[in-house]
Amino acid sequence: MAKKLLSFHHFISLLLLLILSFQSSNGLPLKSTRRSPRLLGRFSKPTKPLLKNYKYETRYFDQNLDHFSFADLPKFRQRYLISFEHWVGPEKAGPIFFYCGNEGYIDWFAENTGFVWELAPRFGALVVFPEHRYYGESMPHGSTSEAYRNASTLSYLTAEQALADYAILLTDLKKNLSAEACPVVLFGGSYGGMLAAWMRLKYPHLSVGALASSAPVLQFEDIVPPETFYDIVSNVFRHESRSCFNTIKTSWDALLSEVHKEDGLLQLTKTFHLCQKLNSSVDLSNWWDSAYTSLAMANYPYPTEFLMPLPGDPIKEVCRKIDSCPYGTGVLECIFEGLNVYYNYTGSVDCFNLDDDPHGENGWNWQACTEMVMPMSSNRYSSMFPEFYYNYTEYKEGCWEDFKVTPRPTWITTEFGGHDFKADLKNFGSNIIFSNGLLDPWSGGSVLEDISESIVALVTEKGAHHLDLRAATSEDPNWLLEQRAKEIMLIEDWIKSYNDRKHLAEI
Ligand SMILES: *[C@@H]1O[C@H](CO)[C@@H](O)[C@H](O)[C@H]1NC(C)=O
Ligand SMILES: *[C@@H]1O[C@H](CO)[C@@H](O)[C@H](O)[C@H]1NC(C)=O
Ligand SMILES: *[C@@H]1O[C@H](CO)[C@@H](O)[C@H](O)[C@H]1NC(C)=O
Ligand SMILES: *[C@@H]1O[C@H](CO)[C@@H](O)[C@H](O)[C@H]1NC(C)=O
Ligand SMILES: *[C@@H]1O[C@H](CO)[C@@H](O)[C@H](O)[C@H]1NC(C)=O
């Protein structure tokens, strides 16, 4: 149960528990913790065998567990995918496209990052997708359960260690391939985009540039207002349909009053077609929250199967269902119809299982309790989610309860910058693309304005979570084609000026 509590969007849980403990006399336990929403949540584990669209080999590399001490610790096997299919080789200084793996199975990210694969032939590039430590098959300590045992075994799960893994893997790979002189272009989406940007800044000699798509590098401390994320999700729904927004906004109260009825939980179990009897409204509200935020991320203009099988413009579809609910139907039934679009678009789900993380092995919870402290609030006026204000004391207590660890909320900005990001990067950085779509709730914590001539923001009004990294489709709108064309042009420039410099140095 403790594991369950740490699984998702906990601030909503807490709010509901608070309201409940005010309203009900049976004194529900005020037990909750809260994290930053997981960027990709449970979907970082493929739920079914992946269709392999691209040709690559799977390889393994022995990594140091701790790059920052000389303690004699056992190594672990890091998985990486590699494709030589289009590489023109070291003699022709064929570039290396290096995707900074994020919080999940690397083959799943590889299959969902078609852009990199499609660029490879054009550039004659080698393609490498390394897996992030503590995810997928790249488990230290021999197994997932050992790696996730406690705060000591988890303590090597940090962004700095992951970046060092990538730096070492890349350097060793180049040596093995006699490719030391080949230019490296970094790619990444979401947390992977943060890693790509940070790797460019921390290891400037290892790459010629980075494409950081939907990378919320500023979602820390007070750099952006804590309401940003939930305001964006809410605005997207409001913009789609004001009545849909209003129905969702009132549904949280409807849920609470249902819970207080006799057999309310049983009734909710039926209304929402749950597989198991609901034990607390929090489990249900987390499930709703998860659907709305994931819909905003995956609000792509054409059908996709990224997070879930979804129609194009899925929020339009959800709101159409909610708005077309017959007169006299209860709010909760209308919400159910809307959520069915997200959770059951294929129509093949018999009943819904709320437990999205049965083994409690989602590393993002640990990362959120250590370095990745992203303050989140939900504002009563602008948000369709229940009101909640970020409370660090509480956040910290939850982390102690779950992991016996105390977060370091200022570490990321100390290590990578953030408060004066633009001025700082203008002074010492170069060759980074921050690409974003404004429908994506994470765009609010990213870089949306050009920083310098070579650190640029490519923003689309209608894009969602790292849409630009997806494979091309016949339905791609013009604004997306334009965004990708600019990215390609910039990458070409990086490689060209690298080659020019090298050529000059040789003569
Ligand atoms: C974590 O587990 C390991 C392996 O069982 C053990 O050696 C270590 O003492 C534990 N650490 C803590 C802080 O409980
Ligand atoms: C480079 O080659 C060595 C020796 O064969 C091998 O052990 C190592 O794993 C290789 N490095 C990479 C990144 O594959
Ligand atoms: C409610 O609790 C029971 C017993 O712990 C558990 O088996 C069941 O899965 C829970 N229901 C939900 C919806 O999580
Ligand atoms: C999923 O959709 C199908 C087809 O509309 C429906 O028959 C089924 O009851 C739905 N599943 C749930 C859990 O509501
Ligand atoms: C924040 O949480 C702590 C610990 O639960 C509590 O004592 C405090 O009153 C809260 N602060 C605010 C402003 O709600």
* Cβ neighbours for 492, distance < 8 A, ≥ 6 positions apart: 123
* Cβ neighbours for 77, distance < 8 A, ≥ 6 positions apart: 60, 61, 62, 63, 137, 138
Is 310 inside a domain boundary? yes
Same domain for 469 and 403: no
Contact 154, 109 (CB under 8 A): no
pLDDT of residue 52: 83
* Cβ neighbours for 118, distance < 8 A, ≥ 6 positions apart: 471, 472
pLDDT of residue 36: 52
Same domain for 266 and 153: no
Is 21 inside a domain boundary? no
In this prediction, residue 361 has a pLDDT band, given cuts at 50, 70 and 90, of low
Same domain for 232 and 197: no
Compute the distance from residue 220 Cα to the ligand 5 centre, in Å. 20
CA–CA gap between residue 401 and residue 388 (Å, rounded): 21
Q: Select from 298, 321, 319, 318 the least CA-distant residue to 308.
A: 298
In this prediction, residue 327 has a pLDDT band, given cuts at 50, 70 and 90, of confident
Ligand found nearest the CA of 154: 1
Same domain for 118 and 34: no
Task: Respond yes or no: is residue 440 known to be catalytic.
Answer: yes
Domain-terminating residue out of 356, 374, 408: 408
Give ligand 1 pocket residues (Cβ under 6 A).
Answer: 149-153
Computed over every residue of the chain, the mean pLDDT equals: 90
CATH of residue 481: 3.40.50.1820
Q: Following DSSP, what letter does each residue of 71-124 receive, concatenated?
A: --PPPEEEEEEEE-TT---TTTT--EEEE---SS-HHHHHHT-HHHHHHHHHHT
Ligand 1 atom nearest the C-alpha of 404 is 13
pLDDT of residue 19: 34
Q: Report helix, strand or coil for 409.
A: coil
The tokens describing 282, both together, are 């929090």
Contact 455, 236 (CB under 8 A): no
In single-letter form, the type of residue at position 137 comes to: E
pTM: 0.91
pLDDT of residue 31: 29
Task: Respond yes or no: is residue 190 known to be catalytic.
Answer: yes
Of 10, 132, 141, 465, catalytic:
465
pLDDT at 276 over 90: yes
In this prediction, residue 308 has a pLDDT band, given cuts at 50, 70 and 90, of confident
Same domain for 188 and 238: no
Domain-terminating residue out of 349, 379, 408: 408
Same domain for 291 and 148: no
Using CA atoms, how far residue 162 sits from 132, 175, 192, 196, 199, in Å, is 6, 20, 10, 11, 10
In this prediction, residue 41 has a pLDDT band, given cuts at 50, 70 and 90, of very low
pLDDT of residue 37: 58
Q: Is 271 close to ligand 4, i.e. is its CB under 6 Å away?
A: no
Give ligand 2 pocket residues (Cβ under 6 A).
Answer: 59, 61, 169, 172-173, 176
Domain-terminating residue out of 347, 378, 408: 408
For 141-165, give one letter per residue: b (16+ CB within 10 A) or e: beebeebbeebeebebbbbbbbbbb
Q: Select from 233, 118, 160, 186 the least CA-distant residue to 465.
A: 233
Q: To test the ligand 1 pocket, which listed residue (149, 405, 406) has its Cβ within 8 A of the most ligand atoms? A: 149
Is 20 inside a domain boundary? no
CA–CA gap between residue 324 and residue 337 (Å, rounded): 10
Q: Is 275 close to ligand 4, i.e. is its CB under 6 Å away?
A: no
Of 7, 32, 36, 190, catalytic:
190
CA–CA gap between residue 30 and residue 198 (Å, rounded): 38
Contact 216, 446 (CB under 8 A): yes
Out of 114-128, 357-371, 409-423, 469-483, pick the least confident.
Answer: 357-371
Per the listing, tokens 């960027």 go with 39
Ligand 2 atom nearest the C-alpha of 173 is 13
Out of 177-181, 429-433, 480-484, 503-507, pick the least confident.
Answer: 503-507
Same domain for 123 and 164: yes
Portion of the chain with pLDDT greater than 70, in percent: 89
Per the listing, tokens 């790249």 go with 138
Is 52 inside a domain boundary? no
The domain tally of the chain equals: 2
Q: Is 347 close to ligand 4, i.e. is its CB under 6 Å away?
A: yes
Of 440, 446, 466, 468, catalytic:
440
Is 363 inside a domain boundary? yes
Same domain for 137 and 11: no
Q: Select from 125, 85, 131 the least CA-distant residue to 108.
A: 131
CA–CA gap between residue 300 and residue 321 (Å, rounded): 18
Residue 225, CB-side half-sphere exposure with 13 Å CA sphere: 9
Q: Select from 147, 152, 68 the least CA-distant residue to 370.
A: 152
Compute the distance from residue 496 Cα to the ligand 1 centre, in Å. 51
Same domain for 358 and 311: yes
Ligand found nearest the CA of 59: 2
Chain centroid to Cα 191, Å, comes to: 5
Q: To test the ligand 4 pocket, which listed residue (269, 340, 346, 353) has its Cβ within 8 A of the most ligand atoms? A: 340
Task: Respond yes or no: is residue 359 known to be catalytic.
Answer: no
Same domain for 128 and 143: yes
The tokens describing 125, both together, are 């590039």
Same domain for 418 and 404: no
Is 51 inside a domain boundary? no
In single-letter form, the type of residue at position 446 comes to: S
CATH of residue 38: 1.20.120.980
* Residues 124-168: tens digit of each pLDDT: 999 999 999 999 999 999 999 999 999 999 999 999 999 999 999
CA–CA gap between residue 212 and residue 209 (Å, rounded): 10
* Residues 89-104: tens digit of each pLDDT: 999 999 999 999 999 9
Which residue's C-alpha comes closest to atom 14 of ligand 5?
Answer: 391
Q: Looking at residues 469-476, what average pLDDT do you find?
A: 95
Which residue's C-alpha comes closest to atom 13 of ligand 3?
Answer: 278
Is 348 inside a domain boundary? yes
Same domain for 358 and 306: yes
Using CA atoms, how far residue 267 sits from 259, 279, 333, 335, 342, in Å, is 9, 12, 11, 15, 22
CA–CA gap between residue 384 and residue 239 (Å, rounded): 12
pLDDT of residue 14: 36
| Boundaries of domain holding 120 | 57-221+414-506
CA–CA gap between residue 382 and residue 388 (Å, rounded): 12
List Cβ<8 Å contacts ≥24 apart for 342-348: 342/291, 342/294, 342/295, 342/308, 342/310, 342/314, 342/318, 343/291, 343/308, 345/308, 345/309, 345/310, 345/311, 345/314, 346/309
Element (H, E) at 174: helix 159-176
pLDDT at 323 over 70: yes
The tokens describing 4, both together, are 């369950």
